[in-house]
Amino acid sequence: MKKIAIIGSINMDIVSSVMQFPEPGETVKGLEFRTCPGGKGANQAVAAKRLGADVVMFGKVGDDIYGKQALQVLENSGVDIRHVETCQGVNTGIAVIHVNKEGENYIVIQEGANKHVDIDYIKKIQPFLDTCGLVLLQLEIPMETVKRAAQYCAEQGIEVILDPAPAAPCDGQLLRCTDFITPNEGELKKIACEDDMEKGARKLLDAGVKNVIKKAGAKGCYFINRDRMDYIAGFKVKAADTTGAGDSFNAGFAVARAKGYEDRKALEYANAVGALAVTKMGAQDSMPTHKEVELFMNDLKRGRGI
């Protein structure tokens, strides 16, 4: 199996559960409060490791207690954190998250150390990237860094999966280095400046992306490239918390690719990982193991559901 590199954010999530989100200017009482490690990069690293991959995390934390806790959880999960750096005098990335009773969320991130994942850092980690067969990138570190990382990996023949979240304009240089881009509906609209899904996906293909995977939440996902368009149905589950749903999907897809699954099978696997992740609270805490995913898929095949 190919080794997976994740270059991205490491956060501490400050999570508050509420019955209903407040309106602007309104105060509501919360139900529950907790802090738990997050960040799209770190979430994807933990998820990929639980699914059985060999995972190296690249990123930065601040010199505070949150950074120590976030790294401890990554290390306990078995993720290689030897190349994660600690920035002095900087706070670890923070995400303030509100989750309502439907499991929907609002997230505000304060970048902290994630902002310091710069091009010099990418130059430094190049020899270690060379040992990986696949890289997973998101947009919670500076765009210039993502571009440089994608360009280097493409030059070295390392497969590039780009999770374009949070959505931001992606220029042609980045898109040309991307093997798979995995936006949800809102992200695709923003990045392609196009409301129609198929037209939006074609715009990204014209800009140089090789394959577009449009995530559609519980409905599953669409796979679009120059030769074909395919719909892969999702799994129906009761959502407790959708935080990290996209991260679990991306990790599931990356692990399936690293194992050499063909596209459709890889996306079915990713849908199952995403479905299981939303049945539990939290981001990293909710990531399923490979065994759990297999059982879930087999149960469904036997028509029992969960």
Nearest distance from residue 139's CB to ligand RIB, in Å? 10
Nearer Cβ to ligand RIB (122/165): 165
Q: Select 138 or 211, whichever has its Cβ closest to ligand RIB.
A: 138
What is the C-alpha to C-alpha distance for residues 121 and 146, in angstroms, rounded to an integer? 11
Structural contact between residues 113 and 62, judged by C-beta atoms closer than 8 angstroms: yes
Determine which one of 13, 64, 163, 247 is catalytic.
Answer: 247
Asked if 215 contacts 182 with a C-beta cutoff of 8 angstroms, the reply is yes
> From the CB of 290, what's the least distance to ligand RIB, in Å?
21
CB of 109: closest distance to ligand RIB in angstroms? 5
Reading phi first (left if > 0) and then psi (alpha if -120 to 50, else beta), residue 87 is in beta
d(CA 64, CA 282): 22
Classify strands 60-62 and 55-58 as parallel, antiparallel or unpaired: unpaired
Residues at the site binding ligand RIB, with contacts judged by CB under 6 A: 9, 11, 13, 38-40, 43, 95, 107, 109, 140, 243-244, 246-247, 283
Q: Which is nearer to ligand RIB, 207 or 275 (CB)?
A: 275
Q: How far apart are CA 133 and CA 130, in angstroms?
A: 8
Sequential DSSP letters for 258-303: HTT--HHHHHHHHHHHHHHHTTSSSSGGGPPPHHHHHHHHHHHHTT
95/224 with CB nearer ligand RIB: 95
Residue number with CB closer to ligand RIB (272 or 283): 283
Distance in Å, CB of 123 to ligand RIB, minimum: 25
Cβ contact 267:221 at 8 Å: yes
Angle, vertex CA 185, rays to CA 184 and CA 191, nearest 5? 85
123 vs 168: CA distance, rounded Å:
24
Judged by beta carbon, residue 103 or residue 133, the one nearer ligand RIB is 103
Cα distance between residue 182 and residue 188, in whole Å: 9
Tokens representing residue 158 in the block: 């390392």
Cβ 165 to ligand RIB shortest distance, Å:
7
Give CA–CA dist 263/179, Å, rounded. Answer: 12
Q: Is 247 assigned a catalytic role?
A: yes
Whole-angstrom CA distances from 146 to 162, 180, 212, 243 are: 9, 14, 18, 23
Give the three-state DSSP class for 67.
Answer: helix
The nearer residue to ligand RIB, 92 or 211, going by C-beta atoms, is: 92
Q: How far is the CB of 11 from ligand RIB (least distance, A)?
A: 4
Catalytic residues: 247
